[in-house]
């Protein structure tokens, strides 16, 4: 349905805020269902259809379930989704309803929902479409091809990390390009987590050999509110091999970065994606990224996915007019203020 081939947008107004001259946003919110998940879902659903699966299932913080529901519908397969109750952004839930998914709500978080899916697929009840399904990763790695096609190899690729499938996919794509002789060096990868849901950051910082899950992950970026990333082994290897790092950013920084992109660049992204931009700012502030290096931040999902975050965290500049004349006088006041 036109997945992939998303715009790579060079930032033009916010460089002085971020402190880096050449930053690009790979806007994967421009995919058909509004997130990067469509890249992998088109592949995995095609396989499901080919092998004759009747019902596909996933646990999700919202985007995977939105994407799976749309692609399953197109393939004539029944979508079933398991969601953490009360923790799904409204735009994403609406998409699952729209595309006719059977919805199972569980108490707890994403990690509990994923347990259900893993057990259900073990019992042969459903075909799982979480990123434990390798075909998802095969599709998602194409984002690396597109970045390299357009600007060559950047110095850094920065992206949000939840269940850690995407960072593993990006690295796989890059390594395969190098093995094929199409590029001769590799970028450094940075995985950004929200401070309240940062098991990989903790692991990386402390040099743990095994993941210590975060029991009650908490962040406004519900897409990455995950305490036990299933792909942690591959993600850690990707970051180590690329000489990259895992960092965390606060919820305040996430909203700040979302606002910068929205109001200085015209790019609307959901909170998890804004974490990548907040990550770029932090890396620059700490002197890890040089101001002359080329940086790509992957914006994984569209702002419309989570309208409530915007309504709750932004000052709304609404002027109530009592009549047409009153509206015109309000407009005159606003234009006067704006011109002064
Ligand atoms: N950004 C967005 C917008 C996401 O929806 C997700 C994951 C991520 C980043 C992190 O990607 O899990 O591969 O590390 N969303 C999943 C979901 C968990 O169910 O939609 P990851």
Query: pLDDT of 112-135, one tens digit each?
Result: 999 999 999 999 999 999 989 999
Whole-number pLDDT of residue 31: 98
Segment 245-274 shows an average pLDDT of 98
Ligand 1 neighbours, Cβ below 6 Å, are 35, 37, 60-64, 131, 160-167, 223-224, 270, 272-273, 300-301
Q: How, if at all, do strands 294-299 and 188-194 pair? A: unpaired
- Which residue minimizes the CA distance to atom 4 of ligand 1? 223
**pLDDT at position 333 over 90:** yes
- Which residue minimizes the CA distance to atom 6 of ligand 1? 223
pLDDT tens per residue, range 78-114: 999 999 999 999 999 999 999 999 999 999 999 999 9
CA–centroid distance, 206 to ligand 1, in Å, is 24
Q: What phi, psi does 327 have (nearest 5°)?
A: -60, -40
Whole-number pLDDT of residue 316: 86
**d(Cα 154, Cα 69) in Å, to the nearest integer?**
34
In a 13 Å sphere around the CA of 101, the CA atoms on its Cβ side amount to 30
Taking the whole predicted model, whether its pTM rises above 0.95 is answered as yes
CA–centroid distance, 150 to ligand 1, in Å, is 24
In 3D space, the residue among 182, 190, 204 whose CA is nearest the CA of residue 155 turns out to be 190
Q: From the CA of 29, give the closest atom in ligand 1.
A: 3
CA–centroid distance, 270 to ligand 1, in Å, is 11
Please answer whether residues 284 and 229 qualify as being in contact, where contact means their C-beta atoms are separated by less than 8 angstroms. Answer: no
End-to-end Cα separation, the chain, in angstroms: 48
Please answer whether residues 162 and 270 qualify as being in contact, where contact means their C-beta atoms are separated by less than 8 angstroms. Answer: no
**d(Cα 300, Cα 276) in Å, to the nearest integer?**
9
Q: Where are the alpha helices (DSSP H) in 76-190?
A: 90-98, 110-122, 134-140, 142-151, 165-179
Whole-number pLDDT of residue 131: 87
């Amino acid at each position: 349905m036109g997945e992939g081939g998303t715009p790579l947008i060079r930032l033009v107004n916010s460089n002085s805020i971020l402190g880096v001259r050449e930053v690009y946003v790979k806007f994967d919110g421009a995919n058909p269902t509004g997130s990067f998940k469509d890249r992998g879902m088109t592949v995995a659903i095609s396989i499901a259809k080919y092998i004759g699966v009747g019902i596909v299932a996933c646990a999700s913080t919202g985007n995977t379930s939105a994407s799976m529901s749309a692609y399953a519908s197109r393939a004539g397969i029944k979508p079933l989704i398991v969601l953490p109750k009360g923790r799904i952004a409204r735009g994403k839930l609406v998409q699952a309803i729209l595309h006719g998914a059977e919805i199972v709500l569980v108490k707890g978080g994403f990690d509990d929902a994923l347990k259900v899916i893993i057990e259900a697929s073990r019992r042969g009840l459903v075909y799982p479409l979480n990123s434990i399904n390798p075909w998802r990763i095969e599709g998602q790695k194409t984002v690396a091809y597109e970045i390299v096609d357009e600007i060559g190899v950047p110095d850094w690729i920065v992206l949000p990390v939840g269940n850690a499938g995407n960072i593993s996919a990006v690295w796989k794509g890059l390594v395969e390009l190098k093995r094929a002789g199409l590029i001769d060096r590799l970028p450094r990868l940075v995985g950004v987590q929200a401070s309240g849901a940062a098991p990989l950051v903790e692991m990386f910082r402390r040099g743990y050999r095994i993941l210590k899950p975060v029991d009650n992950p908490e962040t406004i970026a519900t897409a990455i509110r995950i305490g036990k990333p299933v792909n942690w082994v591959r993600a850690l290897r990707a970051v180590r091999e690329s000489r990259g790092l895992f960092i965390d950013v606060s919820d305040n920084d996430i909203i700040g970065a979302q606002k910068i992109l929205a109001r200085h660049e015209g790019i609307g992204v959901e909170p998890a994606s804004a974490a990548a931009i907040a990550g770029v700012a932090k890396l620059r502030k700490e002197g890890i990224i040089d101001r002359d290096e080329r940086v790509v931040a992957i914006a994984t999902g569209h702002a419309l996915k989570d309208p409530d975050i915007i309504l709750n965290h932004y000052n709304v500049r609404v002027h109530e007019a009592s009549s047409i004349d009153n509206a015109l006088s309000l407009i005159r006041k606003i234009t006067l203020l704006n011109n002064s």
